[in-house]
């Protein structure tokens, strides 16, 4: 199998890399009792060739990954489906029942009438008749042009409007009742919008999982504990710090997790790679309550990233050096180093400040409330433009 990697080099997967027994990979129990492998293979290809993820996913299944993280937005569900079909043909898996597949409803398909067709298209492309976990990708219906720059804005973008989200959620629940979805979940939910969702659903309508950005330099411990206290399982993405994300998504202030001195020190002491330190931490942290998504192009990396979910490699003392405990003696290494700002999703009233996406300062329960806010903001903004000095 040959594919291109992030550096546009041709990569050949190494079939001599011995697979890992999938049974040795840890699982977490979701609310309804489903056992979910904690390590999920990521299929977001950034700007690279589409057929790249097909071969990488096939190689991941060969090596023993049984949880595959997909999304309509990655524009490669068919390629992932092809990888699954090939894996069946080659006997890497005997049936798709051996896989745990996560899918995500894209923002552009959140209108109630679009939800069922979106899932049907996803299932068809993946070659499945049901999906193990279906997440809302983002909490609002804002879309952007694929591959756009950080300055891109969609004038129709809106903040979180609970009334709208609940209409989407109800459609997702109908598909769960029909048996097309086994577990429902969210991604990129903040505390306030999760509170609203949990307030308005019954026990069997609650999300089982929230997928969110989590890595050693961006731990989100408080938010993660809140979700956990509500029996939600947290799955982290960009677990390695997404070192090869496109340049347009990199900002000067961001740091690289795998280059952090503590991570490298622990890697040296333990005889494992910095990647494995981060992933083993992700699996062990907070009493082994969550999971991680990681993507890789090389057979040896694909293997080491999975191996990190098979044993407690880091000692409690090493875990503490990364997590910290809020004391001066054990500060940990969290640096609030968010990698996804989400600026392309900003609505006009956010005034270009990406923090508004995450700080719950503009969350609306009803369309009427947002309309009122928008009207007042527009008057204020018009006056601001008319009256303030702009000559500096
Ligand atoms: N829910 C959401 O909104 C959301 C957002 C972002 C991502 N995700 C999911 O999370 C997945 C992971 O995020 P990501 O792919 O951006 O970041 P990531 O998994 O943190 O990083 C992947 C990159 O790390 C490199 N790498 C992998 N294993 C390595 C190792 N052992 N040693 C050194 N380098 C290694 C790979 O380089 P090479 O390419 O050279 O192999 C790859 O480009 C995505 O694929 C997607 O499925 C979800």
CB contact set of 377 (below 8 Å; sequence gap of 6+): 348, 349
Distance 223 CA to ligand 1 centre (A): 22
pLDDT over threshold 60, residue 4: no
Going by their DSSP bridges, the two strands 39-42 and 35-37 should be labelled as unpaired
Cβ of 188 below 6 Å from ligand 1: yes
- Mean pLDDT of the 188-209 span: 98
Q: Whose CA is nearest to atom 28 of ligand 1?
A: 296
For the Cβ of 342 lying below 6 angstroms from any atom of ligand 1, the answer is: no
Convert the pLDDT of each residue in 227-238 to its tens digit: 999 999 999 999
**pLDDT tens digits, one per residue of 264-285:** 999 999 999 999 999 999 999 9
**Res 388 pLDDT > 60:** yes
Rg (CA), the chain: 21
* 276 Cα nearest atom in ligand 1: 31
CA dist 374 and 211 (Å) reads 30
Residue with tokens 């347009």: 248
Q: Is 370 a catalytic residue?
A: no
Q: How confident is the model at residue 2 (pLDDT cuts 50, 70, 90)?
A: low
The predicted model scores a pTM of 0.96
**Is 82's C-beta closer than 6 angstroms to any atom of ligand 1?**
no
pLDDT of residue 152: 81
Kindly report, residue by residue over 74-100, the tens digit of the pLDDT. Answer: 999 999 999 999 999 999 999 999 999
Q: From ligand 1's centre to the CA of 110, what distance in Å?
A: 26
The preferred substitution site among 10, 237, 263, 309 for testing ligand 1, maximizing ligand atoms within 8 Å of CB, is 237
The ligand 1 atom at the shortest distance from the C-alpha of residue 56 is: 41
Domains of the chain: 2-387 (3.20.20.100)
Residue 129 pLDDT more than 90? yes
Contact 68, 96 (CB under 8 A): no
Q: What is the pLDDT of residue 48?
A: 60
What average pLDDT score do residues 147-160 get? 86
Percent of the chain with pLDDT over 90: 89
Q: Is 273 in the pocket of ligand 1 (CB under 6 A)?
A: yes
Is the CB of 293 within 6 Å of ligand 1? yes
**Which of the following is catalytic: 74, 134, 237, 283?**
74
């Amino acid at each position: 199998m040959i594919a291109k990697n992030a550096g546009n080099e041709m990569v050949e997967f190494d079939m001599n890399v011995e697979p890992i027994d999938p049974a040795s990979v840890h699982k977490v129990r979701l609310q309804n009792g489903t056992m979910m492998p904690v390590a999920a293979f990521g299929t977001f290809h950034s700007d690279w060739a589409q057929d790249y993820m097909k071969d990488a996913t096939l190689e991941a299944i060969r090596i023993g990954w049984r949880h595959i993280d997909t999304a309509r937005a990655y524009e490669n569900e068919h390629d992932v489906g092809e990888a699954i079909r090939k894996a069946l043909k080659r006997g890497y898996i005997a049936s798709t029942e051996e896989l745990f597949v996560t899918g995500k409803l894209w923002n552009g398909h959140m209108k109630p009438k679009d939800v069922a067709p979106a899932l049907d298209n996803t299932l068809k492309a993946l070659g499945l008749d049901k999906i193990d976990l279906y997440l809302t990708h983002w909490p609002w219906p804002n879309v952007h042009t694929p591959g756009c720059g950080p300055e891109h804005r969609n004038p129709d973008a809106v903040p979180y409007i609970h009334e709208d989200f609940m209409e989407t959620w109800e459609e997702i629940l109908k598909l769960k009742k029909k048996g097309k979805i086994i577990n429902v979940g969210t991604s990129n939910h903040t505390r306030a919008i999760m509170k609203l969702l949990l307030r308005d659903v019954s026990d069997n309508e609650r999300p089982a999982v929230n997928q969110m950005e989590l890595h050693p330099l961006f731990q989100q411990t408080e938010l993660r504990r809140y979700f956990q206290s509500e029996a939600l399982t947290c799955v982290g993405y960009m677990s390695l710090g997404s070192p090869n994300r496109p340049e347009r998504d990199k900002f000067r202030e961001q740091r690289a997790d795998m280059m952090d001195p503590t991570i490298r020190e622990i890697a040296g002491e333990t005889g494992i790679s910095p990647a494995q330190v981060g992933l083993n931490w992700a699996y062990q942290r907070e009493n082994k309550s969550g999971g991680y998504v990681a993507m890789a192009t090389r057979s040896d990396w694909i293997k080491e990233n999975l191996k990190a979910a098979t044993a407690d490699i880091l000692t409690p003392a090493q875990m503490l050096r990364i997590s910290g405990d809020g004391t001066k003696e054990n500060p940990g290494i969290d640096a609030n180093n968010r990698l996804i700002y989400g600026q392309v999703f900003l609505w006009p009233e956010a005034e270009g400040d990406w923090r508004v996406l995450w700080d719950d300062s503009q969350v609306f329960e009803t369309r009427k409330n947002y309309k009122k806010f928008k009207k007042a903001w527009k008057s204020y903004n018009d006056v601001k433009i008319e009256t303030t000095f702009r000559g500096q």
